[in-house]
Structure 1
Amino acid sequence: MIIEDDPRASYALESTINQHTDFEVVAVSETYADALMQFELYKPQLVFVDITLPDGSGLDVIQKLRRDGANCYFIMTTAERDATTVEHAVQLGISDYLVKPVRMSRVRQALDDYKLYRQKLACHDTVDQGAIDLILGKRSTNAPVRKTPKGIDATTLESLKQILKEEKLTDFSVDDMSERMNVSRITVRRYLEYLESEGVVKMVLNYKTGGRPRRLYQLTDVNLLD
């Protein structure tokens, strides 16, 4: 659906959208009042909205439809460039913001982005952080998915897990693991603290030292290493 009071801009936008094989304009409105009626009649999935209308604001149209439970996406098409207006539009949940004079190549990009977003979302029943980041465009589809936090190398972590799995250590210290892995105590401590945060190991204090208690680690469940 298009909400635009300039006939020339409306015609150009409608023509470009209809040339896309996956989209069709079902309604065109030039006023606030007519837009509300047309939306109720056609229930469009995607709405292009101009801000300046003869009887109101396109932002008010979005706000009204959102308040009424509209299940759709909005793209702004406007000459308004001030930061306050852009911020207001973003707060209303727009999918894109196109500044006039709008290039038709930018309209096609907006349509393709919307289509890709819906396709990605349709591929998931539930989503983890990586999938959400991908859907929202926070990272490239070609970017590797990081499975460990910053500072934790996956290969080193796997080596540590392998030692724990094979040797079935009950009580071990940072020094014990440092010798086995041939890495520094500081590095081993960082990895053990990570495994502790994941519930794989737990830290206990051994007071049978005749002095300061010694930090030891225990494996909680070998199955958590898989």
Structure 2
Amino acid sequence: MQHETLDVLIVEDEPQLATLHTEFLEKNFNLRVVAYAATLAEAKAKVNAHQPRLILLDNFLPDGQGIALMEEAAVKNPACSVIFITAASDMHTCSQAIRNGAFDYIIKPVSYNRLRNSLERFIQFAQTQRTFKVIDQSSVDALYNLHAKQFANETGAKGIEANTLELVKALFNNQPDVAHAVEDVVEQVGISKTTARRYLEHCVTTQFVRVEMRYGNIGHPRRLYRKV
């Protein structure tokens, strides 16, 4: 039996990563990427325009947090599922995603074996939704087993490489009184913005640095990091 092609929206502000996701999805699964969004505003417009069956959602976007997209009626629709793929490794964001009904939560850098597992379960879940018109306990159990969230399997420490971590820590040790932005770490350590965010949030979790929010006259507050 041929299964329907499922439409996907990718919300990711790093074009290269969005392209990698697309190639992986369309090469290995019966999934079709119908749109990209690099900002929260674009994501809201495109989710309503395309009504995707699945959203791969980053949380750190230039104009806000991706978690806010889950308040859109088109995303709350039972026919839409969300898989977070994000550097956000704090428990608050993860818990909020669970409460809002996210299908899965994968922490960057992406393990494509982990993503494959998630997408396989999602496709089975979507097919099971179509198959069962009237449910009994066994069909409910099948849906819950496919939707079983494995959030706890991904921790902030996964993917943290010792040498890179030492470089990040050295930046703070050498300037203990300076509050650094993500961009400072990108420039001085020589890593991508996604990687910098992940290492910084790991340092927050391990209480090596603390977060300070700096509010300017215009725009969103800046998230800065200072050595504890």
Scaled by the length of structure 2, what TM-score is found? 0.56
1:122-150 alpha-carbon deviations (Å, 9 max, x no partner): 22222122221122118xxxxxxxxxxxx
**Matched residue SS, 1:97:** strand
Contact 1:13/1:104 (<8 A) preserved: no
What percentage of residue pairs aligned between the two structures are identical? Answer: 28
Relative contact order, CA 8 A, sep 6+: which one is greater?
2
The residue number in structure 2 matching 1:115 is: 123
User: Counterparts of 2:114 and 2:75 in 1: how far apart (Å)?
Assistant: 29
Runs of 4+ in 1 over 3 A off after TM superposition: 65-71
**Residues 16, 107 of structure 1: 8 Å contact kept:** no
Determine if contact 2:48/2:74 at 8 Å carries over to the other structure: no
Is the aligned partner of 1:51 residue 2:54?
Answer: no
Match of 1:93 among 101, 108, 114: 101
Alignment of 1:79-158 (within 5 A): 79-137=87-145
Kept in 2, the 8 Å contact 1:31–1:54? The answer is: yes
**3-state secondary structure, aligned to 1:98:** strand
Superposed, which structure 2 residues align to 1:1-226 within 5 Å?
1-65=9-73, 71-137=79-145
Which consecutive unaligned segments of at least 5 residues does structure 2 have? 1-8, 147-228
SS in 2 for 1:94: coil
Tell me the distance in 2 between the aligned counterparts of 1:53 and 1:125. Answer: 38
Note the C-alpha offset of 1:16.
0.6
Once the two structures are TM-superposed, the CA of residue 65 in structure 1 deviates from its matched residue by 4.0
Relative distance call for 1:41 and 1:67 in structure 2 (3 A) is closer
Does the Cα contact within 8 Å between 2:81 and 2:102 map onto a contact in 1?
Answer: yes
Is the radius of gyration larger for structure 1 or structure 2? Answer: 1
8 A Cα contact 1:79 1:99, kept in partner: yes
Sort the Cα spacing of 1:70 and 1:113 in 2 relative to 1 into closer, same or farther, 3 A.
Answer: closer
Please state how far the C-alpha of 1:68 moved relative to its aligned partner.
7.3
CA shift for structure 1 position 71: 4.0
Residue 9 (structure 1) shift: 1.7
Relative to structure 2, which stretch is displaced further, 66-75 or 117-126?
Answer: 66-75
Distance (Å, rounded) in 2 between the aligned partners of 1:67 and 1:23: 18
- The two structures have a TM-score, normalised by structure 1, of 0.56
Could you tell me how far apart the structure 2 residues matched to 1:72 and 1:64 are?
Answer: 11
Alignment partners' CA distance in 2, 1:136 and 1:71: 16
CA RMSD of aligned residues (A): 2.0
Alpha-carbon offset, residue 10 of structure 1: 1.2
Whole-angstrom distance in 2 between the partners of 1:130 and 1:9: 39
AA partner of residue 22 (structure 1):
N
List alignment gaps of at least 5 residues for structure 1.
Answer: 139-226
